[in-house]
Amino acid sequence: MRDSGEKRWPEADMAKIALVDDDRNILISVSIALKSEGFEVETYNDGASALMGLQDNPPDLAVFDVKMPRMDGMELLRRLRQNSTLPVIFLTSKDDEMDEVVGLSMGADDYIAKPFSQRLLIERIKAVLRRNDIALNADGEDKPEDDLISCGSLILDKQRHKVTWKETPVVLTVTEFIILHELAERPGVVKSRNQLMDAAYSDQVYVDDRTIDSHIKRLRKKFKKADDSYTSIETLYGVGYRYNEA
């Protein structure tokens, strides 16, 4: 993620979008649509060239096709997530539900199935950028104490989009950060999947229960990497999730 030191508007306003797809027609048509909305666009026709480009010239958000030559979207995301929380939207095959579940579990922020409406893709991009802006840029009118959650061994800094567990940094995507914030701000209170979806996808982007479950699994995996005994996110089967202070 680029860091100019200045607050960026969450939607177009010259936000840079990277498109990664081996279909030239999609690259051209989506690029034209995004540019007409005021976005800056970079395109890549395979995952290997995209990985180098994303590292050398980071965008504000990337859209990855799942099935590509040389390096597919899954492998590209896996490598990217080793040192980046760049928001990513996946383009998946229409009926390939496994791509969606695996992609989300790996840290994708959203997905859309092919064939897709360009207008829908643009709205999804704007929605993820807005969520990213909320997480990365604190409102100057917020009280400092509202930006920091200290819950047992967890410290969550909304203003800086930073999370630590027992003083160990835990790198989260925007969506993971929002879900964790929703749970940790009221320890012990059960949050249903619908409540978590409303918090993380407030722009009425369609998601199902598996999406939230995938994000929760990803959160647990990241915290267990920092502390193998981590058990703070509890599942209440048929009800939802709650955060237990520890």
pLDDT tens-digit map of 208-243: 667 788 889 989 999 999 999 999 999 999 899 999
pLDDT digits (tens, 9 = 90+) for 87-107: 999 988 755 655 666 677 677
Q: In angstroms, what CA-CA distances link 150 with 146, 178, 227?
A: 11, 15, 17
Which of the residue ranges 17-21, 30-34, 132-136 would you say has the lowest mean pLDDT? Answer: 132-136
From CA 65, how far away is CA 242, in angstroms rounded? 34
pLDDT of residue 120 exceeding 90: no
pLDDT digits (tens, 9 = 90+) for 134-190: 655 544 444 455 678 888 899 998 877 789 999 998 888 788 888 999 999 999 999
Domain for residue 3, yes or no? no
pLDDT score for 16: 94
27: phi then psi, degrees, rounded to nearest 5? -60, -45
Whether 98 is in a domain gets the answer yes
pLDDT at 242: 95
Domain of residue 164, CATH code: 1.10.10.10
Same domain, 154 and 115: no
User: pLDDT by residue (tens digit) across 229-238?
Assistant: 999 999 999 8
Residue 3 has pLDDT above 50, yes or no: no
What is the predicted pLDDT for the residue at 82? 85
The pLDDT of residue 132: 75
Q: What DSSP designation does 146 have?
A: G
Mean pLDDT along residues 60-80: 91
Mean per-residue pLDDT for 43-65?
Answer: 93
List, as one string, the DSSP characters of 7-63: PPPSSSTT-EEEEE-S-HHHHHHHHHHHHHTT-EEEEESSHHHHHHHHHHS--SEEE
Residue 24 sits in a domain whose CATH number is 3.40.50.2300
pLDDT for 100 equals 63
pLDDT of residue 96: 60
| Domain assignment present for 10 | no
Residues 154 and 111 in one domain: no
- The model's pTM is 0.66
Name the more confident of 28 and 212.
Answer: 28
Residue 193 in this model has a pLDDT that exceeds 80: yes
- Indicate whether 51 and 163 sit together in one domain: no
Q: Mean pLDDT over all residues of the chain? A: 83
Give the per-residue pLDDT at 101. 65
Domain that holds residue 176: 144-243
Q: Is 162 found in the same domain as 62?
A: no
Return left, alpha or beta for 205; rule: phi > 0 is left, psi -120 to 50 is alpha, else beta.
Answer: beta
Do 128 and 148 lie in one domain? The reply is: no
